[in-house]
């Protein structure tokens, strides 16, 4: 049995040193340290890592961190919601979101054309710029072929962005699939609908992509899940692991509580009752704001893996026999 130990600050303390002390601090600090350890274990065990997150995390400054993790080989499959796709494209197009506060006058914000997400402010102009960017992309995709599954569509869009801090770009150039099951649940869906009114033979095949995510892994492959928040993104990842024998490692981070009966609040232990996580798997559930908990846990893991020489950036891949430069010429042409 471990005992509580007092946390002490030391000059020059690293994130790794601080998080290491969490195992004896108590409360959610213990779970955060455990979560970081599980992340290290899934990487060392060469597990296929599913990273899932909801759109509000891309609204925040985590976007570039997610892109970096893809490039560093810490995520092999991405599952997210459509707002994250939209805002990744917005930010790749130069949009900047402002810090506000949680007690703003929302009626006044609405009159000014400002949308509030917690304490982050997004101007309506960002959505207008999104429309200006996405419609020419859809024209190019339509010229290439008329029917797309969602992950292939997002891969091609990612290669058009050419932004190292873009989740879509890094995933596409590193060969990491991005799944967005509810692609119509936002502004992107509205523009897909408008585009289809002009081109009735343009099809985005969500059902085919459901099959793609189910078979993105196999029964024999080791699997790890890092689920940030809940929603459809979390569920599609763990459904894939369920149908392939269950995850060997799982880290859930959320602000929801297990008593809600929701997907967001469902713990890693609850997942064992469904077979989504193996009975003997290494798991951790951390309750708290992901901008705090995930950054601490993951940076601790990155520092440890880097010190052990286990953090190796991905090489750029060829897509359908084409190099990244070939595709850039295609999308520019």
| Catalytic positions, written as ranges | 276
C-alpha dist (Å) from residue 113 to 77, 126, 127, 189: 35, 10, 11, 21
Strand partners, 148: 204
Instruction: List all residues 6 or more positions away from 165 whose beta carbon is below 8 Å from its beta carbon.
Output: 63, 64, 67, 68, 91, 92
Phi, psi of 79 (to 5 degrees): -130, 125
Rounded alpha-carbon distances, angstroms, from residue 128 to 89, 281, 323: 12, 46, 32
Side-chain half-sphere exposure of 123, counting CA atoms within 13 A: 11
Q: In sequence order, what are the beta bridge partners of 253?
A: 228, 286
In whole angstroms, give the CA distance from residue 224 to residue 241: 9
- Alpha-carbon Rg for the chain in angstroms: 20
Give the span between the Cα atoms of 174 and 145, in whole angstroms: 23
d(CA 72, CA 39): 14
Q: Which residues are within 8 A (CB) of 277 and not within 5 positions of it... i.e. 6 or more apart?
A: 225, 238, 241, 246, 247, 250, 268, 271, 283
């Amino acid at each position: 049995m471990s005992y509580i130990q007092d946390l002490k600050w030391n000059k020059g303390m690293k994130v790794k040193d601080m998080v290491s002390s969490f195992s004896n601090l108590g409360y959610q600090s213990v779970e955060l340290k455990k979560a970081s350890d599980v992340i290290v274990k899934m990487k060392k065990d060469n597990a296929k890592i599913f990273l899932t997150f909801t759109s509000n995390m891309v609204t925040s400054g985590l976007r570039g961190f997610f892109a970096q993790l893809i490039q560093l080989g810490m995520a092999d499959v991405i599952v997210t919601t459509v707002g994250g796709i939209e805002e990744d494209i917005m930010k790749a197009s130069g949009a900047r979101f402002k810090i506000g506060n949680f007690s703003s006058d929302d009626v006044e914000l609405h009159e000014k054309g400002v949308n509030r997400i917690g304490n982050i402010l997004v101007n309506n102009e960002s959505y207008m710029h999104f429309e200006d960017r996405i419609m020419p992309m859809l024209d190019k995709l339509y010229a290439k072929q008329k029917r797309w599954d969602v992950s292939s569509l997002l891969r091609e869009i990612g290669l058009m962005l050419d932004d190292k801090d873009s989740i879509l770009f890094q995933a596409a150039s590193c060969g990491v699939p991005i799944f967005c099951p509810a692609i119509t649940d936002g502004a992107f869906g509205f523009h897909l609908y408008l585009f289809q009114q002009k081109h009735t033979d343009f099809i985005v095949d969500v059902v085919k992509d459901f099959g793609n995510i189910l078979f993105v892994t196999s029964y024999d492959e080791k699997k790890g899940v890092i689920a940030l928040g809940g929603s459809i993104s979390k569920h599609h990842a763990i459904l894939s692991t369920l149908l392939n024998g269950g995850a060997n490692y799982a880290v859930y981070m959320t602000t929801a509580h297990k008593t809600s009966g929701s997907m967001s609040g469902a713990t890693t232990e609850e997942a064992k009752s469904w077979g989504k996580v193996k009975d003997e798997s290494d798991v951790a559930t951390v309750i708290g704001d992901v901008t705090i908990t995930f950054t601490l846990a993951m940076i601790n893991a990155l520092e440890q893996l880097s010190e052990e020489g286990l953090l190796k950036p991905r090489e750029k891949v060829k897509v359908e026999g084409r190099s990244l430069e070939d595709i850039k010429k295609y999308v520019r042409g």
